[in-house]
């Protein structure tokens, strides 16, 4: 099972990279979201997949490793905050800068 | 050892240092400024008090620990060599300081000039007194800094700034190379004390020695670093006289002399010093003859004279060393006088151009005599001081070899020539009244200029005195000589040595130099006109601009300002950097595969996720883009269900819902995707990088899953102690609020900052041209929906509270409950208008966030107050109606804090955008 | 001895302050008064904390178990001499920046959470220095990131937004890879606690080496991006140019150093399995970073941009010390860090004063400021010469110690490159000096009193001069820190509670 998910992670990373390299800010934001989904899946894989019940002590052992889940939860919240900020930023760039094309944001090195 | 003499010794440094810190009050600044001259006078007194000590061949040491673990001591020592230099620094200092008071009498910057001069004086004293090599370097660089400030003293002038930077830059090269040498010495011998190194006659490698030589050459303006000295003439003339003739440029000579005993038998050292000195000697002389500016002439002559001393130091014979020291003394006297002459001439006539000057003799007779005598001393005519050292110089080179002798004579002829040009052109040549020239006022010498002439008279008087009373010069020089050579000299200075070859050479010099002077009209004009095809100055300037251009060019090449490019660099670095070790890994490691077979529907879901990802890339529709992302998110939560992570599944679903609202709010604001397609090549590149990155990450994770790994003790610990020690059955939640509660503290901080950030983003700067569609495009102002919404609101809120409270034992917890609440309230915002809801809400989102943060942090800090670490939880069991028995841990307070932060932030962000 | 539990205040204090400041974000006096008071208080506390560690010499290390859970199960804060020195340094800069901000931050920015965001930033930085857990480090990275995002964009000017986008995107990519590397780490090593990790590595015998090499490179990529080393620094100069001077000072001084610290910590504590590969790589990258950074600086014509490129160059020196890996080199790295951060922040603040006085920091648009304000020129000269390593200022001894360490083990080439970098640094500092302070008087002279802007700068320059005059004090601190770091067993034993 791990290898299936690892392949999916690879695909998500590929798609994310492709989107981040696009011209449109919205695509970049979506690309970053794909990145974080993929990273969360990677964390999930690190605890092993389909190797036990949910780590609720009311159910029966064996349980899966609860730590990656806790880490992912933290990561989800953080990336939610980041994505929210990035989205509003992109939208403000569109408003103030008048463009949401990434290559029009070039410059500023001189 | 640090007794009275020691304190006297360091007072030589401290006096000027403290003096430079004295700032006179604005009102009296101009009048009190000359009082700074007291410092060199006091120094001269102190220095003379050491007379008997150094005459006896003894020295004074004093030392205080500075940073002993780094080999640093504040150790100073005075011996004959440093004594001579302290004498020069304070002696010439007295004249220069007094002269400056008259030279810049009405200049409001006089006080600052004095303070910089004192700073330099302290630094220079430090150079010659320091016994610790690093301490020496400290003062060495300090002379560079003060010289920088003094050259650029007239900072409005571009040439002054350039000259200052050039001097600083070139001498800094030397300083850094010397640092290299010092580091090498320290690494090799474990000490930085010069006295220790010298006492043990430590053998220091030639390479290290060369490092010190480079430093000395830059400081003493030796070829090819000599170019800074003429440029330094932008400094006010007293500065030129003091730093760039009498003292600072001699620091390099001091260093060579100081280290000579260590390299007495080193042919490379000797050859290097001699040859560099010779080139400088001749080249400086040639350049000096060409000059038409008095100060430029003197500067190049200084270069040449410094070369002469360097040659002598390189020869290392008894006579040569003696001559070197003697010439240091002589040169300080006559060159100091000549620089001040140039200053006075400029002060009185307004020009330094030798072609326009002339005829000053009848106007200023005393001045003329003094300046002429100093010039003749430089030319090496008997019975002046310069003659003595020139004689010895000839004897020294005669001992060495023929070529050197020829070059020496040639250089001396040049010296003769430019010395004569200098004083003849200024005083004796017929005055040439061109329109620009302001003629010297006829009564110049009578009143204001006494102070401008007296120092010159005294200095050139010394130049004469050294010649007439050789025993005086000998007494001054002998202690220094003894330090370098190790034994007193076997001969005595005298004007008349009998008919020696050296005397013959002197005569030859006078004949050749004299005839050149007489015939000067034939060639001088031509030489002056002739522009060198290329000069070292040009080389310096060109390489500066060349480097700058090159740097600009390379920077423009990769710093494109486009973030897309920067991302590409990052990814290339990552792919290149990781593929090599990954390759090695797969080559070396025996793979260990432990497979859980996937079900078909799982494969299907995975496939669907990949398709959703690709759809994000392919679509040109903003809505499809966002919905595909939502699909990926939803599939994530399904995977979380499949892989036994109910908390994650709940969280993911709710987060997806809120993000979707967020995206939809701003979506129509963005332009249409793909309106300007990328070039095919870029597209191909992007696809390549995407595939590469995806593959890399997959391989990385693959490697982690099939390679060797260590067992973890952590999950068993959590599973077995979650209930026992932390009172919760939902282990994930217990980890979040207890085991790793600190992470959660950070996480809610990030989350709450998002709301600050968003409020700031939309609150500042210009607003968009068209108002955002707010929530109207999603609002359903139908009464049925509104009552439905009101009903669901309360249901959802109750459910959220339930989730919050049971989180410790079953899926739920602060975050999930918080997002659920936010979803409920957002739904309300859609059903009604934002404003209505706001009126109903007792608190603003921001306040909720703050309370939540404070509650979470406060719960944690509570345990600190009762003596436990931050976030230590206490547990109690209570039973509630409906909920059954609940373990109420203080962690619950923390979780409620989380809840509040999440509610507040989610609402805050959505509201901020919606209202904008 | 300071009560150990108080060490958590360096992390929690700022966030509580930030929350309070956010709640009353419209109260002008409250904002400024509380900010100054808290930063001063935490600064004092951090100094006391460091001193109390130093009293115990090499054993001076405070281990705090968050939630009272032992490592590796709970999160551990570790205050050793290295991390506490970094905290003291951070708080010093924070005090200077707050003092500067009191007079320079616009009312509108202040009402839009300037100070709360700044304190969150401090929280993130201090947390990153103190944490002993790699996932927790990720969390603190994110805290300081989002705070820096918001601060960079504060004002929503077009240029700011543009550069913020670049900064956000690059950093979020790096953060994602941080998560990936953590997942690989947990999968292969089964722990996230640094001490536990180091312990596990020490007790295995080489079969994990190639995994570790991969891990070390991924972490190097992540931390190196934050630290702006070659070839990952490209993002830095643009964003660091944009914000107000106070923020530039903190960003330029401290933020990249968090990345350096992370490299320092991980490559001394954890990734020591194959220094011939990993640390050799660090050295090469260090040399390139040093040179390319200063090349970039020399190509610029704006004071703030020159300073921004210098950040990169100086990072190279720090990496050099880490790469050399001898105790002397590690002490040198820490000794390098302190004066350089002080000087860098001071210079950015001075750029802010120049901006306030003339309305520009471009070398062509400003000139002859020396006659306008001699104190300002003096402060600049001291900070700039220290940065260029001119004795007897603190920066000289930094260079001296790092290069001495290189010399001791015969890495002459790197010593040479270090010296060359110093020369070019001097050249670019002189370029600023000639452009801004000397030359013809050009540019506006705004009728503002500059003195109120000076206290923060004077504070920093005071330390630069002080360290230069008494290098032994900082050196003994650095030596203690290096002794702790050079032998990971001390750290491991302290965190895992093992007895020797």
Q: Work out whether strand C62-65 and strand C76-79 pair parallel, antiparallel, or are unpaired.
A: antiparallel
**Of the candidates C186, C434, C476, which has its C-beta nearest B161's C-beta?**
C434
Q: In A, which residues are within 8 Å of B695 by CB distance? A: 10, 14
**Model confidence pLDDT, tens digit, residues B311-364:** 999 998 888 999 999 999 999 999 999 999 999 888 888 888 888 887 888 888
pLDDT higher than threshold 70 for residue C124: yes
- 8 Å CB contact of B864 and C430: no
Residue B351: the pLDDT is 84
| Chain A with chain B: Cβ pairs closer than 8 A | 303
Q: Are C490 and C271 in contact (CB under 8 A)?
A: no
Q: Are B818 and B896 in contact (CB under 8 A)?
A: no
The percent of residues in chain C predicted with pLDDT above 90, rounded, is 73
- 8 Å CB contact of A109 and B559: yes
The percent of residues in chain B predicted with pLDDT above 90, rounded, is 43
- 8 Å CB contact of B596 and A51: yes
Subunits next to B (3 or more Cβ pairs <8 Å) are: A, C
**Of the candidates A50, A56, A77, which has its C-beta nearest B643's C-beta?**
A50
Q: What is the mean pLDDT of residues B537-546?
A: 88
pLDDT higher than threshold 90 for residue B674: no
Cis peptide before C212 (omega within 30 of 0): no
Residue C311 CB partners (closer than 8 Å, separation 6+):
C228, C236, C240, C252, C256, C293, C344
Which residue of B13, B144, B155, B916 is the best one to mutate when testing the C interface, meaning the one whose CB has the most C CBs within 10 A? B155
Q: Which residue has the higher pLDDT, C68 or B770?
A: C68
B137 touches chain C (CB under 8 A): yes
**Model confidence pLDDT, tens digit, residues B367-417:** 888 999 999 999 988 888 888 888 889 988 888 888 999 999 999 999 999
pLDDT higher than threshold 90 for residue B559: no
A101 touches chain C (CB under 8 A): no
**Model confidence pLDDT, tens digit, residues B467-480:** 888 888 888 998 99
Task: Output the average pLDDT for chain C.
Answer: 92
CA triple B563-B697-B736, angle to 5 deg: 90
Confidence of residue B574 (pLDDT cuts 50, 70, 90): very high
Confidence of residue B443 (pLDDT cuts 50, 70, 90): very low
Nearest-CA distance from A87 to chain B in Å?
A: 7
- 8 Å CB contact of C434 and B741: no
Q: What is the mean pLDDT of residues B85-111?
A: 89
Q: What is the mean pLDDT of residues B525-533?
A: 75
**Of the candidates C65, C136, C200, which has its C-beta nearest B743's C-beta?**
C136
Q: What is the mean pLDDT of residues C397-401?
A: 93
A36 touches chain C (CB under 8 A): yes
Residue A33: the pLDDT is 95
**Of the candidates A36, A46, A78, which has its C-beta nearest C183's C-beta?**
A46
- 8 Å CB contact of B606 and A7: yes
Q: Are C128 and C115 in contact (CB under 8 A)?
A: no
Residue C76 three-state SS? strand
Q: What is the mean pLDDT of residues C266-272?
A: 92
pLDDT higher than threshold 60 for residue C500: no
- 8 Å CB contact of A96 and C166: no
Per-residue b or e along B511-540, where b marks 16 or more CB atoms closer than 10 Å to that residue's CB: ebbeebbeebeeebeeeeeeeeeeeeeeeb
**Where exactly are the structural domains of chain A?**
2-105
The DSSP element (H or E) to which C39 belongs, if any, is helix C28-54
B559 touches chain A (CB under 8 A): yes
Give first-to-last CA distance, chain B, whole Å.
78
pLDDT higher than threshold 50 for residue B434: no
Q: Are C200 and C220 in contact (CB under 8 A)?
A: no
B684 touches chain A (CB under 8 A): no
Q: In B, which residues are within 8 Å of C399 by CB distance? A: 179
Residue of A nearest to C179 (CA): A39
Ordered DSSP codes for B643-701? TT-HHHHHHHHHHHHHHHHHHHHHHTTSPPTTSSPPPHHHHHHHHHHHHHHHHHHHHHH
Nearest-CA distance from A96 to chain C in Å?
A: 6
Q: In C, which residues are within 8 Å of B743 by CB distance? A: 75, 135-136, 139
Residue range A2-105, CATH number: 1.10.287.3510
pLDDT higher than threshold 70 for residue B726: yes
Task: Output the average pLDDT for chain B.
Answer: 86
Residue B435: the pLDDT is 41
Nearest-CA distance from A36 to chain B in Å?
A: 10
**Model confidence pLDDT, tens digit, residues C327-340:** 999 999 999 999 99
Q: What is the mean pLDDT of residues C314-336?
A: 94
Confidence of residue B496 (pLDDT cuts 50, 70, 90): confident
Residue A110: the pLDDT is 57
Nearest-CA distance from C84 to chain B in Å?
A: 18
CA distance B674 to A24: 8
| Chain B with chain C: Cβ pairs closer than 8 A | 350
Residue B776: the pLDDT is 43
Residue of A nearest to B607 (CA): A8
Q: What is the mean pLDDT of residues B729-757?
A: 91
Residue C498: the pLDDT is 67
Q: In C, which residues are within 8 Å of A92 by CB distance? A: 153, 156, 161
Q: Which residue has the higher pLDDT, B210 or B381?
A: B210
Ordered DSSP codes for B308-371? HHHHHHHH-SHHHHHHHHHHHHHHHHHHHHHHHHHHHHHHHHS--BTTT----TTT-HHHHHHH
- 8 Å CB contact of A10 and B905: no
Confidence of residue B775 (pLDDT cuts 50, 70, 90): very low
- 8 Å CB contact of C186 and A28: no
Closest Cα partner for B485 from B248, B324, B284, B251?
Answer: B324
Residue A43: the pLDDT is 94
Which residue of B659, B687, B719, B914 is the best one to mutate when testing the A interface, meaning the one whose CB has the most A CBs within 10 A? B719
Which residue of B17, B70, B215 is the best one to mutate when testing the C interface, meaning the one whose CB has the most C CBs within 10 A? B70
- 8 Å CB contact of A108 and C164: no
Cis peptide before B368 (omega within 30 of 0): no
Lowest mean pLDDT among B277-281, B671-675, B891-895, C250-254: B671-675
Residue of B nearest to C370 (CA): B155
CA distance B247 to B245: 6
Residue C62 three-state SS? strand
CA distance C74 to B718: 10
Residue C196: the pLDDT is 94
CA distance B254 to B82: 8
Residue C22: the pLDDT is 92
- 8 Å CB contact of A22 and B686: yes
A107 touches chain C (CB under 8 A): yes
Q: Are B154 and B190 in contact (CB under 8 A)?
A: no
Number of neighbouring beta carbons within 10 Å of residue B847: 16
B718 touches chain C (CB under 8 A): yes
**Of the candidates C135, C149, C158, which has its C-beta nearest A97's C-beta?**
C158
Nearest-CA distance from C408 to chain B in Å?
A: 6
**Of the candidates B606, B622, B767, which has its C-beta nearest A4's C-beta?**
B606
| Chain A with chain C: Cβ pairs closer than 8 A | 92
Nearest-CA distance from A60 to chain C in Å?
A: 23
Nearest-CA distance from B757 to chain A in Å?
A: 7
Number of neighbouring beta carbons within 10 Å of residue A103: 18
Residue of C nearest to A104 (CA): C162
Q: What is the mean pLDDT of residues B204-223?
A: 93
């Amino acid at each position: 099972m791990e290898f299936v998910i690892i392949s999916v992670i690879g695909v998500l990373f590929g798609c994310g990279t492709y989107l981040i390299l696009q011209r449109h800010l919205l695509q970049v934001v979506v690309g970053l979201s794909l990145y974080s989904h993929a990273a969360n899946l990677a964390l999930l894989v690190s605890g092993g997949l389909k190797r036990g019940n949910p780590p609720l002590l009311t159910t029966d052992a064996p349980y899966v490793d609860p730590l990656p889940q806790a880490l992912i939860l933290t990561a989800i919240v953080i990336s939610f905050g980041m994505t929210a900020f990035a989205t509003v930023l992109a939208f403000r760039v569109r408003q103030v800068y008048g463009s949401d094309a990434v290559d029009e944001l070039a410059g500023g090195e001189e | 050892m640090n007794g009275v003499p020691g304190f006297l010794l360091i007072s030589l440094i401290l006096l000027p240092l403290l003096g430079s810190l004295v700032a006179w009050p604005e009102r009296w600044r101009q009048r009190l400024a000359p009082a700074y001259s007291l410092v060199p006078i006091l120094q001269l007194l102190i220095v003379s008090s050491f007379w008997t000590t150094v005459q006896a061949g003894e020295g004074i040491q004093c030392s205080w620990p500075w940073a002993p673990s780094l080999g640093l001591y504040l150790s100073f020592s005075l011996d004959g060599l440093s004594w001579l230099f302290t004498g020069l620094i304070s002696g010439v200092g007295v004249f220069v300081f007094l002269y400056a008071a008259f030279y810049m009498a009405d200049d409001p910057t006089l006080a600052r000039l004095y303070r910089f001069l004192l700073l330099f004086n302290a630094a220079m004293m430090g150079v010659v007194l320091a016994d610790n090599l690093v301490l020496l370097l400290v003062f060495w660089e300090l002379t560079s800094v003060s010289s920088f400030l003094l050259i650029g003293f007239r900072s409005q002038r571009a040439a002054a700034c350039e000259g200052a930077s050039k001097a600083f830059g070139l001498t800094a090269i030397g300083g850094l190379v010397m640092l290299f040498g010092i580091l090498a010495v320290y690494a090799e011998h474990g000490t930085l004390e010069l006295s220790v190194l010298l006492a043990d006659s430590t053998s220091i490698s030639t390479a290290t020695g060369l490092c010190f030589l480079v430093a000395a050459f830059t400081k003493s303006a030796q070829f090819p670093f000599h170019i800074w000295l003429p440029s330094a003439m932008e400094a006010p003339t007293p500065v030129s006289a003091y730093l760039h003739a009498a003292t600072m440029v001699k620091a390099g000579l001091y260093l060579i002399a100081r280290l000579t005993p260590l390299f007495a038998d080193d042919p490379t050292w000797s050859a290097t010093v001699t040859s560099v000195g010779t080139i400088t000697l001749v080249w400086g002389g040639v350049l000096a003859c060409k000059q038409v500016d008095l100060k430029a002439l003197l500067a190049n002559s200084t270069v040449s004279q410094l070369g002469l001393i360097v040659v002598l130091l390189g020869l290392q014979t008894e006579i040569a060393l003696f001559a070197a020291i003697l010439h240091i003394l002589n040169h300080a006297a006559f060159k100091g006088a000549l620089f001040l002459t140039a200053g006075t001439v400029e002060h009185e006539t307004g020009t330094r151009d030798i072609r326009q000057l002339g005829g000053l003799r009848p106007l200023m007779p005393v001045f003329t005599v003094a300046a002429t005598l100093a010039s003749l001393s430089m030319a090496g005519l008997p019975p002046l001081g310069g003659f003595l050292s020139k004689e010895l110089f000839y004897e020294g080179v005669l001992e060495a070899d023929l070529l050197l002798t020829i070059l020496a004579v040639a250089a001396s002829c040049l010296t003769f020539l430019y010395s004569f040009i200098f004083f003849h052109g200024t005083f004796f040549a017929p005055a040439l009244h061109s329109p620009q020239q302001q003629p010297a006022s006829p009564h110049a010498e009578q009143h204001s200029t006494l102070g401008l002439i007296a120092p010159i008279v005294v200095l050139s008087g010394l130049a004469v005195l050294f010649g007439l009373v050789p025993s005086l010069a000998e007494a001054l020089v002998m202690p220094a000589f003894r330090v370098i050579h190790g034994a007193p000299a076997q001969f005595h200075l005298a004007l008349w040595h009998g008919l020696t070859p050296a005397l013959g050479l002197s005569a030859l010099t006078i004949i050749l130099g004299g005839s050149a002077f007489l015939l000067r009209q034939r060639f001088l004009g031509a030489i002056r006109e002739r522009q060198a095809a290329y000069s070292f100055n040009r080389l310096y300037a060109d390489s500066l601009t060349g480097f700058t251009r090159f740097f600009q060019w390379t920077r423009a090449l990769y710093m494109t300002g486009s973030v897309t490019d920067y991302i590409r660099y990052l990814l290339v670095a990552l792919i290149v950097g990781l593929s090599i070790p990954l390759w090695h890994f797969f080559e070396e490691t025996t793979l260990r595969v432990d497979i859980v077979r996937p079900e078909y529907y799982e494969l299907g879901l995975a496939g669907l996720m990949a398709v959703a990802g690709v759809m994000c890339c392919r679509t040109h529709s903003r809505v499809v883009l966002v919905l595909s992302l939502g699909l990926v998110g939803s599939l994530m939560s399904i995977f979380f269900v499949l892989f036994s992570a109910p908390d994650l599944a709940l969280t993911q679903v709710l987060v997806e819902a809120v993000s979707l609202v967020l995206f939809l709010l701003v979506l129509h604001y963005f332009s249409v995707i793909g309106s300007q397609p990328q070039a095919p090549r870029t597209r191909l590149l992007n696809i390549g990088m995407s595939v590469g990155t995806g593959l890399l990450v997959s391989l990385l994770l693959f490697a982690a899953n099939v390679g060797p790994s260590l067992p973890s003790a952590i999950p068993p610990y959590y599973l077995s102690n979650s209930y026992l020690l932390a009172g919760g059955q939902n282990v994930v939640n217990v980890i979040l609020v207890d085991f790793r509660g600190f992470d959660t503290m950070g996480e809610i901080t990030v989350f709450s900052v998002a709301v600050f950030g968003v409020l700031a983003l939309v609150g500042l700067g210009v607003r968009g041209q068209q108002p955002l569609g707010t929530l109207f495009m999603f609002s359903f102002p139908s009464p049925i929906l509104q009552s439905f919404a009101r009903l669901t609101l309360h249901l959802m809120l109750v459910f959220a509270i339930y989730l919050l409270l049971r989180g410790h034992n079953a899926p739920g917890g602060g975050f999930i409950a918080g997002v659920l609440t936010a979803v409920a309230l957002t739904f309300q915002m859609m059903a009604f208008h934002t404003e209505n809801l706001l009126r109903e809400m007792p608190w603003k989102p921001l306040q909720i966030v703050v309370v939540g943060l404070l509650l979470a942090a406060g719960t944690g800090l509570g345990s600190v107050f009762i003596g436990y670490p931050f976030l230590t939880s206490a547990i109690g069991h209570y039973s509630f109606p409906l909920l059954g028995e609940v373990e109420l841990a203080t962690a619950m307070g923390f979780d409620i804090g989380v809840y509040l932060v999440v509610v507040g932030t989610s609402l805050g962000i959505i509201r901020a955008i919606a209202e904008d | 001895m300071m009560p150990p539990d108080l060490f958590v205040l360096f992390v929690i204090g700022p966030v509580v302050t930030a929350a309070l400041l956010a709640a009353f974000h419209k109260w002008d006096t409250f904002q400024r008064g509380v900010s100054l008071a808290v930063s001063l208080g935490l600064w004092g506390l951090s100094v006391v904390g460091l001193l109390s560690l130093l009293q115990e010499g090499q054993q001076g290390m405070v281990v705090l178990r968050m939630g009272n859970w032992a490592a590796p199960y709970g999160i551990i804060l570790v205050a050793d001499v290295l991390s506490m020195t970094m905290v003291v340094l951070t708080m010093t800069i924070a005090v200077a920046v707050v003092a500067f901000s009191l007079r320079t931050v616009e009312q509108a920015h202040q009402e839009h959470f300037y100070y709360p965001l700044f304190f969150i930033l401090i929280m993130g930085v201090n947390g990153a220095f103190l944490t002993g857990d790699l996932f927790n480090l990720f969390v603190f990275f994110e805290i300081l990131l989002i705070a820096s995002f918001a601060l960079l964009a504060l004002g929503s000017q077009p240029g700011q937004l543009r550069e913020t986008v670049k900064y956000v995107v690059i950093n979020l990519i790096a953060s994602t890879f941080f998560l990936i590397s953590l997942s690989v780490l947990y999968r292969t090593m089964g722990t996230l606690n640094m001490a536990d990790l180091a312990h596990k590595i020490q007790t295995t015998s080489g079969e994990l080496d190639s995994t570790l090499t991969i891990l070390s490179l991924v972490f190097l990529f992540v931390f190196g991006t934050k630290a702006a080393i070659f070839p990952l620094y490209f993002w830095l100069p643009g964003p660091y140019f944009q914000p107000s001077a106070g923020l530039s000072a903190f960003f330029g001084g401290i933020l990249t150093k968090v990345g350096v610290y992370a490299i320092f910590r991980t490559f001394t504590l954890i990734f020591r399995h194959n220094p011939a590969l990993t640390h050799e790589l660090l050295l090469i990258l260090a040399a390139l970073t040093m040179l390319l950074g200063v090349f970039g600086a020399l190509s610029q014509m704006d004071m703030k941009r020159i300073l921004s490129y210098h950040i990169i160059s100086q990072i190279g020196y720090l990496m050099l010390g880490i790469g050399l890996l001898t105790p002397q080199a590690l002490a040198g790295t820490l000794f390098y860090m302190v004066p350089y951060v002080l000087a860098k922040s001071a210079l950015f603040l001075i750029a802010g004063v120049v901006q306030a006085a003339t309305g520009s920091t471009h070398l062509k648009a400003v000139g002859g400021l020396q006659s306008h304000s001699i104190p300002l020129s003096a402060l600049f000269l001291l900070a700039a010469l220290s940065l260029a390593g001119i004795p007897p200022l603190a920066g000289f001894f930094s260079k001296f110690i790092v290069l001495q360490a290189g010399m001791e083990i015969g890495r002459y080439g790197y010593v040479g490159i270090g010296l060359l970098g110093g020369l070019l640094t001097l050249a670019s500092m002189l370029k600023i000096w000639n452009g801004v302070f000397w030359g013809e008087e050009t540019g506006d002279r705004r009728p503002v009193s500059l003195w109120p802007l000076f206290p923060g700068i004077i504070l920093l320059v005071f330390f630069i001069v002080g360290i230069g005059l008494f290098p032994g004090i900082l050196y003994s601190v650095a030596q203690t820190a290096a002794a702790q770091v050079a032998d990971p067993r001390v750290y491991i034993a302290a965190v895992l509670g093992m007895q020797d």
